[in-house]
Amino acid sequence: MPAAVTFRNVSRHFGAVRAVDDVTVEIAEGEFFAMLGPSGSGKTTCLRLVAGFEQPTAGEIAVFGQNMAGVPPYRRPVNTVFQDYALFPHLNVRDNVAYGLMIAGRGRAERHRAAEAALELVQLPGYGDRKPGQLSGGQRQRVALARALVLEPRVLLLDEPLGALDLKLREQMQEELKALQRKLGITFVFVTHDQGEALSMADRVAVFNQGRIAQVGAPSDVYDRPATPFVADFVGSSNVLPPEVTGRLAGRRLPASLRPELVRILPPGAAGSLATARVISTQFHGAVTRVHLSMDGLDLAALLPRGARVPEEGAAVGLSWDPDDLHLMDGT
């Protein structure tokens, strides 16, 4: 069975800018796949290439085995949910959801029935007569989702759809989107710059950097075993140790990742200390306290759980970690 979406050596150039640079990846049918990266890393351009809003400069994109070269957006088995929702303010919710069906020539009664079913699916039954201006941000996001799903796409493309929501609602919508994807069984391709969103929802994550995929894998693999210093720093803000430090601590001169939650803070000179450091500052984050440290001029961070003793600023401390927690990286 062919993959839902296939990139084969895909590039997209805008003049001298390589927005997407030789990307090759397969997205399986029924997979929740996240494209994660900072602004300008190429992830949104990849989404637009699948949707047909952009055409590749080089390479090939296939959807369920069919080459998409020359296939217009409205003939592709995909649909897109945008960050700004793009709802028509003069139409009620029902007609917003049914708009694509109207363009496709479906009858009024049929498209309204389909719209109501889609609204039920996104937990907005009875909202059909309201206007978008009467809805909250989370409700508008659900309407945009219903409008995309009513056309029964085989692949749903989501371009940072939760970016405009506050933290609590965003976390709620993360759970709802994942549950909806499991219920529908269709492929979701989700673009985000938020590593928490990607790690919590996706089956696999592709981390983008400067138009290329730096790493692709299960969320736990990307987090625990980053391939490059960029991935280590971007996904979870790891301590990235330079080769000269790693050579002294682990005997191999390679960059290494050491997650802050795996660093133990000990009294200075305590048994088991692998290094000494000085506390620069501390930040209370509720469940954890982030301790900023300086180890021979290298900035490090440690996370202490609530209830743990927090050292004073300026104090000398010992540092320890399990040898397996120091992850060596071959990438640059």
Sheet hosting strand 239-241, strand order edge to edge: 239-241, 256-258, 327-328
pLDDT by residue (tens digit) across 2-21? Answer: 899 999 999 999 999 999 99
The pLDDT of 176-203, averaged and rounded, is 93
The whole-number pLDDT of residue 331 equals: 61
Question: Rounded to whole angstroms, how far apart are CA atoms 156 and 16?
Answer: 31
Radius of gyration of the chain (CA): 24
- Map out the domains of the chain with their CATH numbers: 5-233 (3.40.50.300), 239-328 (2.40.50.140)
pLDDT by residue (tens digit) across 79-115? Answer: 999 888 788 999 999 999 999 999 888 899 999 999 9
Residue closest to 274 by CA, chosen among 291, 292, 295, 297:
295
| CB-based contacts of 21, cutoff 8 Å, min separation 6 | 11, 42, 210, 211, 212
Local structure of 117: helix, strand or coil: helix
The pLDDT of 297-302, averaged and rounded, is 94
pLDDT by residue (tens digit) across 231-265? Answer: 999 998 899 999 999 999 888 999 999 999 999 99
The whole-number pLDDT of residue 168 equals: 82
Residue closest to 56 by CA, chosen among 37, 47, 261, 311:
47
What beta strand segments (E) does 169-297 contain?
A: 187-192, 204-209, 212-217, 239-241, 256-258, 264-266, 275-284, 288-295
The DSSP 8-state label assigned to residue 252 in this structure reads S
| Long-range contacts, stretch 18-23, CB < 8 angstroms, 24+ apart | 18/210, 18/211, 19/45, 19/211, 20/45, 20/46, 20/49, 20/56, 20/211, 21/210, 21/211, 21/212, 22/58, 22/59, 22/212, 23/59, 23/211, 23/212, 23/213
Question: Rounded to whole angstroms, how far apart are CA atoms 130 and 96?
Answer: 10
Tell whether the model's pLDDT for residue 332 goes beyond 90.
no
Question: Rounded to whole angstroms, how far apart are CA atoms 180 and 195?
Answer: 20
First and final CA of the chain: distance in angstroms?
A: 35
The whole-number pLDDT of residue 63 equals: 98
Q: 58: part of which helix (H) or strand (E)?
A: strand 58-63
Tokens representing residue 244 in the block: 């000269």
